[in-house]
Amino acid sequence: MSSTERMNSESEFLPGHSDQLQLLMRAVECARNGIVITDPSKTDNPIIYVNPAFSQLTGYAKEQIIGRNCRFLQRDDREQPAVKELREAIGKEVPITTILRNYRKNGSYFWNELTISPVKDEHGRVSNFVGVQNDVTARIDSEKRVQEFYSMISHELRTPLSSIHGALTAVEDGSAGRVNAQVMRLIRIAVDNSTRLMRLINDILDWKQLEAGKFKLTLASFDPQQAVASVVRELQATAEAKKVVLVPEILPHHDIFADQDRIVQILSNLSANAIKFSPPKGIVTIRLEAPASDTIRFTVTDHGPGIAAEQMDKLFVRFQQLDSSDTRKKGGSGLGLAICKAIVELHGGNIGVSSKVNEGSSFWFEIFS
């Protein structure tokens, strides 16, 4: 079909100009979003059109809105940063999406997600502005409650728990004096569980920072063998308690440019998981090597139950457990591997796993320098 024939064919289904205007008007009138149109050629850029959804959102009748500037919705709350951003965008005749507090006719406030776009005429001049409003109060209030929850975790839980953990550790290592065997057994149970709780709290706070894009790396050049040694020291007692042998395997390597504390965090998480899922007398190997002149690779290998192929898609996903039942034997937040993946990717690296059921798993990650 030629282009002329195609145009003729399509024109049979295109409504006339007046029909198009009626269709657009019906669509705008029926939209659930509040929509206003203003006229910047008139004094104070007044509203010249408002759809029913806007009246429902604000509580004002159409005749109470037409001819007014949109600022009336902010009442005396006009020092908001978003209001200044709106003025600047309108002055520059550029589109903008922002969130600000608006007030209904009855005085109650709502959070308005507002998108303003300039409308240009056939000469490219701005003839109008169209504003689309959405009430996002429920979302903003939910985000506020989440923020308060994170603050509570950080200040009301982590601080006292750190003190409790420190006191228990002092008793465990003998710094606070000698205790009998029965008391020491209870102390060690308490130390283990307080350590678990602290790890959970730190995982939650780390994930919040990662989601918010506020997770920062402190990069420096160091010998990655130091990271392996640090993890072995940290987890040696845990491995011995599980009757698991922790074996560092250091192959020829070179320094890397990375955040050493975060590399230790990743390696510790992978190694702790390997110990957790290893059978008694099992071996967990932490391997360090340099597969290329610009690459350092860490691999943690266990000989535990392994991971079925259909379960692989749950790995590295937040709040996912391979066994998510209420009766699962192994604890965990479901955040550890997701955090590991995010930190590795912040370094520009890769992370992955190979596993066979009843043979074990090897979790690896690479950092490029």
Q: Is 8 helix (H, G, I), strand (E, B) or coil?
A: helix
Under 8 Å between Cβ of 95 and 115: yes
How far apart are the C-alpha atoms of 172 and 204, rounded to whole Å? 27
From its phi and psi, is residue 224 left (phi > 0), alpha (psi between -120 and 50) or beta?
Answer: alpha
Residue 10: C-alpha distances to residues 5, 6, 14, 177 (Å): 9, 6, 7, 91
How does pLDDT run along the chain (369 residues), one tens digit per residue? Answer: 443 443 344 344 344 567 888 898 899 999 999 999 999 999 999 999 999 999 999 999 999 999 999 999 999 999 999 999 999 999 999 999 999 999 999 999 999 999 999 999 999 999 999 999 999 999 998 888 877 777 777 777 888 888 898 899 898 888 888 888 889 889 988 888 888 788 888 888 888 888 778 888 999 999 999 999 999 998 998 899 899 999 999 999 999 999 999 999 999 999 999 999 999 999 999 999 999 999 999 999 999 999 998 888 778 876 555 553 333 345 455 688 999 999 999 999 999 999 999 999 999 999 997
Question: What CATH number is given for 220-368 in this structure?
Answer: 3.30.565.10
Helix segments in the chain, DSSP class H: 3-11, 17-30, 52-58, 62-65, 81-92, 137-152, 159-172, 181-212, 224-241, 260-276, 336-346
> pTM of the prediction?
0.59
How far apart are the C-alpha atoms of 57 and 31, rounded to whole Å? 12
Question: CA quadruple 57, 59, 61, 64: dihedral positive or negative?
Answer: negative
Under 8 Å between Cβ of 282 and 245: yes
pLDDT of residue 16: 55
Residue 104: C-alpha distances to residues 54, 73, 140, 142 (Å): 11, 7, 17, 21
> Length of the chain, please?
369
- In the chain, count H helices and then E strands: 11, 12
CA 353 to chain CA centroid, Å, is 23
**Burial of residue 344, with CB atoms counted within 10 A of its CB: 0-12 exposed, 13-18 middle, 19 or more buried:** buried
Which overall architecture, per CATH, does domain 31-135 show?
2-Layer Sandwich (3.30)
